[in-house]
Structure 1
């Protein structure tokens, strides 16, 4: 049998293409280590410095992200489900993860933020949305196997839509030649926020330190609420029932001391003050009092976390 070998021209062209690609990737984002590279120590440090009152989040996020990315052949895609009330840091933590994994952060072409209320507003258009979602995921991962998908407001997603992504979270080596196991999926939801608050309040009434709350104290509450709440987006979902989620991560309600820390950060960010030592405690207290707290009797937790800190800070500081 005759054996054929690549012509000299083909070999040279291949080398030229490789050289061109290497040069291009020096300046333009590519799916390479130059553009996608985790420093777990820096991620942990940033979470500890910038995220308040969320000891469960910091530990779990760093461990899962590090374990997934250090595995050259993970068994499945990483799927993290963030649960908690408004303003507790779910979006913020997602941004920090992206900033420490992708050189371009949230602006990376490999990071996809999907806001349910914007992308899937009509419950009667679920079949169309399913096709769009499949196309986005398949095209993105085909382009870069380390793509990240952040699904915001899962609790506002039409029922049944989330199951579209189940195959991409499963233990398949590949689907139609594409390997999805190195991708990262993050789901953000207010579902179980009430249950998380009640459990945190229970610890407070029992005079237990907040930092003694463990994941095992919350995980069942979160999963039960997510799968049984009709408006959760995960209602009776195969993604949950088939155990496709790697970890359920609860975001605890923020106390006044955490809100004050957010206020201090924002005052510095907007250059109302130049350093922490200059910040007037009276101003911080005044801004904090503009927010609402619950439960009605204890007035312990901010009902909107740190979400409304910017507008309340602007309101108070402009009085002068």
Structure 2
């Protein structure tokens, strides 16, 4: 897993990062039959760095890249388009619908347009997006209060700790919810939940 601001923080070292990333991909593909590369904070990746990935994603890639790249998945996690997704879910809920009714085809065109029009992200203007080299855009729906409670429960269970329903409620209430008026969605998803359970240990 690569985190943009952690692994590639300084634009002035971009040539070095490109070389390191190319080497890492090549070595991993040689060692592993199937590979998965995850790029978190993709919206903060330098376009030049994304250019390194082009040979692995192009449909007509050179033969030596294509053979290895067939069994390689590149996953880009990004906050781009989050507002569009939240707005779509909010509108549906306000109209009396449920999140389970949301179809991928309702969100993906709007999400893709938002990513392409983003002015403060190199990802939206990268060759990967402009040349349609990304196969799927998968929107993550915002987490509601009930989902945050489940995250808290899972955090306790993963550490084999006992919990109470009251503790789950208190942890869920500690989170910040948006929009300001409706307060339906956790602004941070379930981030920091695992740290928060420490306040409720016996």
TM-score by length of 1: 0.59
Which of 142, 158, 164 is 1:253 aligned to? 142
Residue 262 and residue 195 in structure 1: after superposition, are their counterparts in 2 closer, same or farther (change >3 A)? same
| Deviation, structure 1 residue 307 | 0.9
Summarize deviations over 1:32-64 as a string: whole Å, max 9, x none: xxxxxxxxxxxxxxxxxxxxxxxxxxxxxxxxx
Correspondent of 1:211 among 100, 120, 132: 100
- Is the Cα–Cα contact under 8 Å of residues 173 and 181 in structure 1 kept in the other structure? no
Note if 1:289 corresponds to 2:177: no
Cα 1:241–1:227 shift into 2, 3 Å = same
Judged with a 3 Å threshold, the aligned counterparts in structure 2 of structure 1 residues 176 and 229 are, in CA distance, closer, same or farther, namely closer
**What is the CA–CA distance in structure 1 between the aligned matches of 2:131 and 2:79, rounded to whole Å?**
22
**Deviating 4+ runs (over 4 angstroms):** none
Q: 134-143 or 206-215: which moved more?
A: 134-143
Distance of aligned partners of 1:271 and 1:179 in 2 relative to their CA distance in 1, 3 Å threshold = closer
Q: Which moved more, 1:208-217 or 1:170-179?
A: 170-179
Q: Aligned residues, how many?
A: 201
Call closer, same or farther: CA 1:310–1:179 in 2, change over 3 Å: closer
Confirm or deny: 8 A CA contact 2:171 2:197 kept in the other structure.
Answer: yes
Q: What SS is found at the alignment partner of 2:37?
A: strand
Residues 130-149 of structure 1 correspond to what in structure 2 (within 5 A)?
130-149=18-37
| 1-structure distance, mates of 2:8, 2:116 | 20
* TM-score, normalised by the number of residues in structure 2: 0.90
The structure whose Rg is larger is 1
Deviations 1:100-135 (A, max 9, x none): xxxxxxxxxxxxx11211221112222222222222
Gaps of 5+ in 2: none
Q: 1:150 and 1:124, CA in 2 relative to 1: closer, same or farther beyond 3 A?
A: same
Shift of residue 145 of structure 1? 4.4
Cα gap change, 1:146 to 1:272, in 2 (>3 Å):
closer
Choose from 217, 225, 228 the match for 2:114. 225
CA contact (8 A) 1:192 1:225 kept: yes
Q: Counterpart of 1:168?
A: 56
Give how far 1:220 is off.
1.5
Q: Secondary structure at the match of 2:160?
A: coil
Contact 1:260 1:285 in 2 (8 A): yes
Aligned 8 A contact 1:264 1:284 in 2: yes
In structure 1, the residue corresponding to 2:64 is in which secondary structure?
coil
Picking from 147, 150, 158, the partner of 2:46 is 158
Quickly say closer, same or farther: Cα 1:185–1:227, change in 2 above 3 A.
Answer: same
Counterparts of residues 306-317 of structure 1 (less than 5 Å)? 306-315=190-199, 317=200
Contact 1:173–1:179 (Cα < 8 Å) also in 2: no
Matched, 1:118 2:6: yes
Over the residues paired in the alignment, what is the CA RMSD in angstroms?
A: 2.0
2:69 to 177, 180, 190: 180
User: CA separation in 2, counterparts of 1:251 and 1:257?
Assistant: 16
